[in-house]
Every structure is written in C-alpha cells, then in structure tokens.
Amino acid sequence: MAENNGSSGKDSGLFVRQATGLVRSWSVFDAFVYAFFSVNLITLGLYIFSFAPYVPDGHLVTAVVISTIFIIFLVIVYAMLVSIMPRAGGDYVIQTRILGGPLSYVLPFAGWVFILWLWVPLYGNMLSWNVFTPLLTLLGGMTGNEGLLNAAYWFNGVNGLFFSALVVCILASVVISLGMKGYARVQKFCFYLGMAGLLTVFILLLVNDRATFIERFNAFSAQIGANDNVYSQIINSSSDAGYNPIAWNNIAIAASLPLIPMVVFFNLWPNWGATLYGEVRGASEFKRNFLGMFLGLVVTGILAVILLALFNRTFGWDFYLASNFAFYEGLSPFPVFPFPGLLAAILTENPLLQLWVIISLSAWFFGWMGTVFLSSTRVLFAASFDRMLPEWVSRLNPKTRSPYNALLLMTVPSIVVSFLFYYVPGFEVLTLNATVAIAICFLGSAIAAIVLPYRKPDLYHASPVARYKVLGLPAITVCGVILAGFLLFNIVLWLYDPMGVYGVHDPYSAGFMLVLYGIAFIIYYVYKNRNKQLGIDVEKTYEEIPVE
Amino acid sequence: MIETIKADIYLEGLRLIEEAEEKGLTLRLLGGLGIRHICPSATEEPWAREYEDIDFVASRSGRESLERFFEEQGYEPNKQRNLFAGDKRLLFYDHGNNRQLDIFIGVFDMCHFLELEERLRLTETALAPEDLFLTKIQIIELNQKDIYDLGLLLLDTEVGKGKKDKGALDTGYIARLCAKDWGWYKTVTKNIRELKHHLGKMPELSSEQKEKISAKLDLIENEIEKQPKSMAWKTRNLVGEKVQWYNLPEDLGK
C-alpha cells in the first residue's frame, strides 16, 4: 500500500514512510528453523557420522566442534551479504552483482541446480534408512510379521532406495507448492515434533545404562531374525576386519582434521536459506540474518555433541562406531542400518513409546526434505528474471501458485539421476561431488565478500555492515578470507584425498563435475548471446541490484 | 493491450472497478481513494490532496484472472513480487502516470491481518467505512496523510453500533475484532489516542470539526472497551507489550 508522506510529517512527530510497505512471508524464526533443518542432525548428521570409521583416528566430537567454529564465519559472511542484497537468489545474485562474468553464473548454477539433482538419491537413502527401515523393522520386531521385516529389508535394496528417492521428489514438490507460508507451517510443525522426539531420545539414553541397552539390543536383534549376542558380534567382527575405534576420551585434534571434510556434509549449510531472503522479514538487518543462521548452526552443534556423548554413555562408543563399520563392510549380523533412533527406541519395552520415537524423529526428515528443491527454485527464478533462463522457468500455476516449471526442472533430472545412481554400477561415485560443488559455489561468494568493499564501494558503504571493522579492515573482507581458507582446506582435502575416504578423488567423478560446469557455461553463453541479439548486455544487468 | 488508463487517478480507479465487474471480477477501493469515494468533503479544503497510488481489495474467487486483467488494462506487473507474494497481493505500475496499483487478494496483511473476502459483498466500489477505518488505524507508523484520511472519514460518516445505515461506520464490528485479537485492540486504542492528539493540534480544522471527530473516536473507543474479551485476548493481555504485537511492513526496494 503506497503511502508517501507529506513534508511536515517529521515535524509533527509523525512517521515518514517512503515507499510501498510489504510484510514478507517468513519471520526470523522461520528462517532459523530452515537453517536448523538444513544442518540436520538426525538426517544428514547421523548419516555422515556413520562413515566416521573410515577416518579411524579422527574423533567426531572434535571434528564437529572445530568445523562449527569455522562455519560461524560462513554465517557472518552470508548474513552480511544477504543484508546488503536481501533478494531471492542468494549466491547467484551475490556473485553476479559483485563479481560478474561467466563464473559468477556458472558456480551458483552448477552448485544450486545441477548438484541438487545429485542430492535426491542421498535424501532417498536417508528417508529409507531413517524413516522407512526403522519403522518397518520396529513393527516387524513387535509383531513377528515377516512381511514387515521383508519390507524393511526391501528398503535397504536398490528398488526400495529408488522408491524412497521418488517419494522425496513428490513430497518435496508438494510442500514447496504450498507456498512460503504453507512451507513454514509444515517445517514449524515438524520442528516441534522432531524436537520432542529428540528429547525423548535424550531421556531414554539417560535413564538406561549400557547393560540394559546390550540386553535390549540383543533381544530385539533376535526378534528380527539375527543371532544371539549380536552386540559383541558386531564389535568382534569389526575388530577382526582391522577396525579399532578411537577412544571416546581421545580428542585427537590433528587426527580429526581429515574428518572435517566429511562432517561438513552435515553442517556446512546454515546458509541454505540465503537464496530465500527476499522473502524473510527484516532481511536487510545483519543481526537478524546472523541470529537465524547462527542459532541454527550452534544449537545443532551443541545437540550433536550431547547426542554423541549419550551414544558413548549408553550404546558404548566402540559399538556405535563398529556397528556402522560392520554395516558398510557387510559384516553386521544386524540386518538393517543401525539408525541410532531405532537403537534408542528399543531401550523401552513400551511399543507406543517405541513408535513415538521413530515417528517423531521422522519429522526431522519431513521438515527438511523440501530443502532439496526450495532454495534451487529461487536461483532459477533469479536467473529467469535476469533473462538468463527462459521466462517460463519462473511461471506459477495460476490456480495452485505452484512453481511447476522450476520444480519440473529439478524433479525430472533428479529422477533420472536417482535411477542411474541406484541401477548403474559406478554412477554412485559421480555423485560424491554433491558437497564439493556447493562448497566451490560458496567459495565464489566468499571471494565476492572479500572484494565487495573495494569492487562495489558505494554498495558496501551504503549498507548496514560497513560499520563492522576488524583491525581497521572491513569485517566482511576479514571473515571472507577466513571462510575462503576453510573452504579451500576442505576442497583440497576432497580433491587430494590422502586417505582415500571422500570418494571425490576419482577421475570419473572429477570429469563429471567438469561436464556439469561445462553445461552451465554453455547455458550462460547461449542466454548472453540471446540477450545481446535483443540489445541487452547481461553484464550491465549484473551491475544493478535486482528490483523487488 | 487496452490503452485507456485515465489521467485522473480517482476516475481510473472507478474505471477499473467497472471493467473488472464486466469480467466477473470484484474489486473494492481502499486506502486514500476508498475514503475519497465515500467522503463528500474529500475534495474540499483542508482534506483535498493528491493521490499517488490506487489500492484495491479483490475477491479470491477471481484470483487466477487478476494478473491478466490488469496487464490487459495497460499495467506492468512487478513480476518478482507477484511471483513470491501474489497469493495475497499483486503490484502493478502505470509508468505513464508514475503510479502504482496495489491489489490485496481477500485479505489485508500489513501491520495487522484483516480478512476481507466476506466484507466485499457489503458495499460497492469502496470497502465499508469500518474496514476503511481499520485498514488505516492499524498502521503503526502513522503519517500525516493517514491522520488526514482518518479525520476525513470520521467527519463524513455516521458512527454507530450495527449496520443500520449502509454508509455508517459500524463500531460493533471494530469492537468485536478488538475483543478477539489483543494486537488489534492495542494498536487501535493506541492510535485513537494518537489521532486525537494530532487532530487537536491542527490549526486548519475548525473546533467544530475537531469536536465532531473526537466524539466519534470516543464512541468507537467506548464500544471497544465495553465488548467482552475472549480468553485468548486475556491471555495475551498478560504478556502485554513485552512481545511485539504487530508486523512492521518493510519498504519495497530497501
């Protein structure tokens, strides 16, 4: 509602509103929940923690703490960049407006569009291992119904995993089609439900001791068809295979550094909502942006440390690590992924409480699954507004207001990629770049932050972040340098991979990534030339902050 | 594209309502032009003023056709804003006349939230006086024009409980809303006091005008205070002003 005021307003103690007022769809709390779910402890966290045995001398807690400290700089950098340009599109807008040139298009496009296709099978794995399998295993164990147990095992196989990836595509599209307000409602409900579930897990882990767990775990394993004394068998089989878990009280700082590139698969994303900040209230205020992302990161970091400490207390640290090692090495007599939610649920003999644990923990997945496409749709919209993608990309269904074209651009290739991932041997390796390509995209934004005060001084000095200095230098530059250093540390380790654990140090994987960047370059030049034919210089477009 | 945009903003508002009606779409004026429509004194001093933008409330039933309709009328959409917030609000520009068109769809969501879909049937052309009053009085950062618009509205409309006269401002409706929602109560009562204060200081108004407006504000305030409050209201009242009770709309383009 435009309400431009007369000149006498201020003198009479009244306000002067300069332009059209707008109440954006998301509150800071909604942005916090999005950030909190983006660094998802139960889905991403427990998934990647399960690979920790492959860096046997590293300690998860040390890696989580160190990485969280460095990722705070990512939060600061993005909170500052967003407050300078609170527009939909995040990295795309940041890089094109500050750096310009083809790379500023290619890095965000590859990072937020192509690479997110590769994330769908990973989300599918997590849906299968964190939701379907534990739920069916639990029900099968309770009832002795073999059909349910077979269904649980089916979700461990390629058909079940591919089915889960399809479910991810469908559910993510549905929840995004609800619009930002609807999405916020779903994630808020899941947040409260998921937190209640996590609290239950904490309580179960606290009130039960290790002896009880061993007894209950062995009994449950027998119920689902495993042998007796599975707890000891898991530890022994891992040990026989040469795996000796690091002791809980050995913080092993240096040896844990190689674990960081693995752990960041889970906690590098508190800025995942940066592409959405055109729709968050008060996005031009640095402190608000910072708070949303910072709390998302730090609360998750604290919860991760508490949860791991409770695993040590009740499951036993050796067992927790060995159970994952044995699962991946095919040595485990426990027939499904040892999802800690399931292990916590069987600490109680009350079937309703057991179901409550699994169902409430599944809210961590359902509140998060939309992140696989939601942020990407905003990058597609922003490129479309710049005429660097066709106009139809940003069209909505007039009835449902679903961004159906942007969603189709994400879902159809994701289904193809998921099919290849599960059914074509060797393709799985290519998707290991899922984290790398986004980290490289973030590196582009870190560089944009470093050079912003010098490359776009007017924009910088007019912004609220110009007053923040470190030793007389712009804080955004200093934090950008630290962030770039942290990202480079990870990128170098991923690509060099001295321990051969990250899976990225692979010529096919690297070649695949280069192909994706190549395609993004082609798209850039196609649309740049098309605009040129229409008399539009895209680099001139990139000199202007997008209108709202 | 139909190039028929009128230079006179008020006439353009009326033209759009008429054109929309023909296409089966329901539009009602709100904001300054809505008040201008129902207040005969609007064209007289000291109330006469320039209007820079047209604000409408549209019915949700025609939501799918609205964007096409305004584009056909020669308006340029704010594509980005309409994409993100178009379920509740659309923004268009008339660059020739340097004007903006704001369309709220079924709801008014600014400092406070007001459901308007059912209210559109009550009147023709502009919203009912009580809705016009609420959409102005809910502004946390009142400016000079808001004060004038509210003063004009109160001066030219009858105020009373119930909908005895179609053109009258229904205090009962305002009181019921404020009894249900503590946030509305807080802002409306606070701004009534502000309004009295500012109007009292305006030399361009006669004492008779000031008294008339002030008496009507008293009527509204009394009705609000008399209305029994809901349990939710009472609970929220315990928290008080420690928790923000309104949204502060941000300037577009900030």
Of A179, A394, A547, the CB nearest to B253: A547
The CB density around residue A409, as the number of other CB atoms within 10 Å, is 20
- Verify that B1 and B118 share a domain, yes or no: yes
CA separation, residue B107 to residues B114, B135, B176, B195 (Å): 6, 11, 18, 25
- Verify that B199 and B158 share a domain, yes or no: yes
Has residue A506 got a pLDDT over 90? no
Residue B159 lies in a domain: yes
Residue A180 is predicted with a pLDDT of 87
* Beta bridge partner(s), residue B251: A21
Has residue A355 got a pLDDT over 80? yes
Residue B247 lies in a domain: no
Q: State CA A163 to chain mean position distance.
A: 21
- Verify that B212 and B150 share a domain, yes or no: yes
The C-alpha atoms of residue A519 and residue A225 are separated, in whole angstroms, by 49
The tens digit of pLDDT for each residue in A57-114 reads: 999 999 999 999 999 999 999 999 999 998 888 999 999 999 999 999 999 999 999 9
Contact B91 A88 (CB under 8 A): no
CATH of the domain at B55: 3.30.460
Q: Which of residues 363-382 of A touch B (CB under 8 A)?
A: 381
Instruction: Tell whether ipTM is more than 0.90.
Output: no
pTM of the model: 0.86
- Verify that B205 and B141 share a domain, yes or no: yes
- Please calculate the CA angle A383-A385-A387 and round it to the nearest 5 degrees: 70
- Verify that B3 and B106 share a domain, yes or no: yes
Has residue A7 got a pLDDT over 50? no
- Verify that B95 and B7 share a domain, yes or no: yes
Does B110 contact A at CB distance below 8 Å? Answer: yes
The C-alpha atoms of residue A116 and residue A373 are separated, in whole angstroms, by 7
Confidence of residue A513 (pLDDT cuts 50, 70, 90): confident
- Verify that B108 and B138 share a domain, yes or no: no
Of B84, B86, B145, the CB nearest to A279: B84
Residue B246 lies in a domain: no
The tens digit of pLDDT for each residue in B92-131 reads: 999 999 999 999 999 999 999 999 999 998 999 999 999 9
Does B152 contact A at CB distance below 8 Å? Answer: no
Residue B45 lies in a domain: yes
- Verify that B38 and B7 share a domain, yes or no: yes
Asked whether A387 and A381 are in contact (CB, 8 A), the reply is no
The domain tally of chain B equals 2
Residue B57 lies in a domain: yes
Does B78 contact A at CB distance below 8 Å? Answer: yes
Residue B243 lies in a domain: no
Does A16 contact B at CB distance below 8 Å? Answer: yes
- Verify that B150 and B60 share a domain, yes or no: no
Of A6, A23, A398, the CB nearest to B247: A23
Q: State CA A158 to chain mean position distance.
A: 23
Residue B249 lies in a domain: no
Q: Which of B62, B89, B124 is the last residue of a domain?
A: B124
What's the rounded mean pLDDT across residues A467-485? 97
Residue A5 is predicted with a pLDDT of 37
Domain that holds residue B208: 128-238
Q: Which of B124, B157, B176 is the last residue of a domain?
A: B124
Residue B169 lies in a domain: yes
- Verify that B65 and B152 share a domain, yes or no: no
Q: Which of B124, B151, B166 is the last residue of a domain?
A: B124
Residue A9 is predicted with a pLDDT of 41
The tens digit of pLDDT for each residue in A339-348 reads: 999 999 999 9
- Verify that B18 and B57 share a domain, yes or no: yes
If DSSP states are collapsed to H, E and C, what string results for A166-180?
Answer: HHHHHHHHHHHHCHH
For residue B40, the distance in angstroms to the closest alpha carbon of chain A comes to 21
The tens digit of pLDDT for each residue in A210-222 reads: 999 999 999 999 9
- Verify that B94 and B137 share a domain, yes or no: no
The C-alpha atoms of residue A378 and residue A376 are separated, in whole angstroms, by 5
Q: What DSSP assignment string belongs to A477-528? A: HHHHHHHHHHHHHHHHHHHH-TTS-SS---HHHHHHHHHHHHHHHHHHHHHH
